[in-house]
Structure 1
Amino acid sequence: MYLEHHMLLVELVSDASQSAALVVLRLISSARVISKLDAQYTEYSAQYLVDNVGKEEVEGEMDQESCQYTMENILRYLVENVWTKKDDRQEELDRRHDLTVKECLEFAFKKGLPRGEHWAHLGCVSKFPPFACQIPRVPMKEEVIEATNWDEAFELLKQQPMGARLHVFSPEFYRVREGFYEGPSGNGTRYVGLRDVIVVEVERIEGEIVVTVQIFYKKKTSFVKVVMRSMLLPLNGVDESQVTEPTTLLVDFCIPRLSIN
């Protein structure tokens, strides 16, 4: 099986792409349990999204003889990519852009998702076989619902877990332990970029709205309390001339809306 024979290699795929794929899988798995489409929480494959989202489809490619799920093709794949430890795929991955939650969701709705045990572990960069397209996938009848402001986002959060993107600044983000993440603090601040997160809790602390998010960052999963006050964010750390309007540290809220029909 593809999963059983995939090599355990160093995780070279973009951390941002892996984070987006993991967020999507958590959102979809939770939504399917809430909608009673799955009897229990099911782990779908994040690696499937990393492997396929943003990759150009070649018409008729899957009809070729080499793409059929046969013992001969399985043995050929093992000889060329596993037993000889040949891997020429990293160049292809380097050319692809970082994935986003929205495009991963839309791809999952279009193509369906295989369960985690059927499609390699996250972080595997060994070339996947052409016949992998024949691995069973669960169809997903859903759409992406986006919020335009925090009030809309809060209403969506009452229904199910929600995806968002977090403005990450260094060193402030890395210093957060039990306290709150409040964004840039002044001199020496560096803007890292937007990172995908899952919103798991909202509370009011001393008059401030504080949102707890789950983030998959640098191969680790952690929970961070983010203060939701509106502010001007200098996106290169120091030059406020690039900021055009107030915003919050959390932006781009969305959920997968499932159809049970």
Structure 2
Amino acid sequence: MDEFLQTLSSSTGVCHPDCVRASNAQDDYDASQSAALIAVSLISSARVISKLDAEITEYSAQYLVDNVGKEEVEGEMDQESCQYTPENILRYLVENVWTKKEDRQEEVVQQRRDLTELTVKECLESAFKKGLPRREHWAHLGCVSKVPPFACQIPRVPMKGEVIEATNWDEALELAMQQPVGARLHVFSPEFDLRLGEKGIYDGPSGKGTRYVGLRDVIIVEAARIKGKDVATVQICYKKQTSFVKVAVKSRSLRLGGDKSQVIKRTSLLVDFCMPRFSIN
């Protein structure tokens, strides 16, 4: 197993051609991948703040994509097909890597798409329940290959703690003073696109011609008052690029969706606040 983990570490960031094609064909936003990325980022930061890790350690987002919501089979690790043996590795490589099986890989991708989209909260809860492998010990994010049965033998770092939620900005601000907080942001275009890179303050829709993009996962990294307004600086992966944006924090009436008959909802641009809190005992 040690040799296998070393192989994974040395190939970190190397994508199979099929993964590259799938990534190029993928939409700008994958909700499950985004939630998993935010979750592992929050975990990495929280573990350093709690002094559980001496430095930032990257954990596997793809592990969460592959396993959140999947029940572990009792006795799975004892099954012959799940053992880390040369025979099982060779069989997996022949069936899933070396042999061209586009239909099968498309089936794996489709199965993942058919699953309910993951949330940051679900990813954090799963990490506390099952632990997490380090990033270099699992497949890269967006891997389209089937998870090998012997992957259950890969060691996971145990995670002990709970998910803390906030119902409004005041509560979220208290949490943000302790460590980065996850949230979801109502995104409207073109207003949001113009604010990428902290170019001014994103204040939601401006009027005619506005399109509601949807909710996107973010990390709140800073909070301040600017010209009398509460403003949060958030980190977001938008159109496959990581950016920082200043967001106005206030409740207002927003029309969510393109249907003019849709009920207008009074809400903040930032909602669904949560963060991991680790137990150090």
Q: Tell me the TM-score range normalised by the shorter chain.
A: over 0.9
One of 222, 236, 252 as aligned partner of 2:257:
236
Whole-angstrom CA distance in 2 between matches of 1:91 and 1:250: 31
Whole-angstrom CA distance in 1 between matches of 2:62 and 2:230: 35
Whole-angstrom CA distance in 1 between matches of 2:62 and 2:262: 39
1:58, distance to aligned residue in structure 2 (A): 4.5
Answer whether contact 1:231 1:248 (CA < 8 A) is retained.
Answer: yes
1:187, distance to aligned residue in structure 2 (A): 1.6
Answer whether contact 1:184 1:237 (CA < 8 A) is retained.
Answer: no
Q: Does 1:148 align with 2:157?
A: no
Post-superposition Cα deviations, 1:28-62, rounded to whole Å, max 9, x if no partner, equal: 00010011100111000011011111235455544
Whole-angstrom CA distance in 2 between matches of 1:216 and 1:62: 36
5+ residue gaps, structure 2, are none
Instruction: Give aligned pairs, total.
Output: 260
Whole-angstrom CA distance in 2 between matches of 1:135 and 1:119: 8
Whole-angstrom CA distance in 2 between matches of 1:227 and 1:239: 24
> TM-score w.r.t. structure 1 length?
0.93
Whole-angstrom CA distance in 2 between matches of 1:233 and 1:112: 39
5+ residue gaps, structure 1, are none
- Secondary structure of 1:231's partner? strand
Answer whether contact 1:22 1:216 (CA < 8 A) is retained.
Answer: no
Whole-angstrom CA distance in 2 between matches of 1:183 and 1:207: 17
> TM-score w.r.t. structure 2 length?
0.86
2:244 corresponding residue in structure 1: 223
One of 137, 144, 153 as aligned partner of 1:125:
144
- Secondary structure of 2:182's partner? strand
Whole-angstrom CA distance in 1 between matches of 2:259 and 2:194: 19
Whole-angstrom CA distance in 2 between matches of 1:154 and 1:208: 14
1:237, distance to aligned residue in structure 2 (A): 4.3
What is the letter of the counterpart of residue 90 of structure 1? V
1:214 corresponding residue in structure 2: 235
- Secondary structure of 1:247's partner? strand
- Call closer, same or farther: CA 1:56–1:243 in 2, change over 3 Å: farther
Whole-angstrom CA distance in 2 between matches of 1:97 and 1:29: 25
Whole-angstrom CA distance in 2 between matches of 1:162 and 1:77: 39
Answer whether contact 1:188 1:237 (CA < 8 A) is retained.
Answer: no
Post-superposition Cα deviations, 1:141-197, rounded to whole Å, max 9, x if no partner, equal: 010000111111111111111101100112221222412211111122222211110
- Call closer, same or farther: CA 1:226–1:60 in 2, change over 3 Å: same
1:79, distance to aligned residue in structure 2 (A): 0.8
- Call closer, same or farther: CA 1:231–1:191 in 2, change over 3 Å: same
Q: Does 1:47 align with 2:62?
A: yes
1:252 corresponding residue in structure 2: 272
1:239, distance to aligned residue in structure 2 (A): 3.2
Whole-angstrom CA distance in 1 between matches of 2:181 and 2:188: 22
After TM superposition, where is structure 1 displaced by more than 2 Å over at least 4 residues in a row? 1-8, 10-14, 54-64, 85-88, 237-241
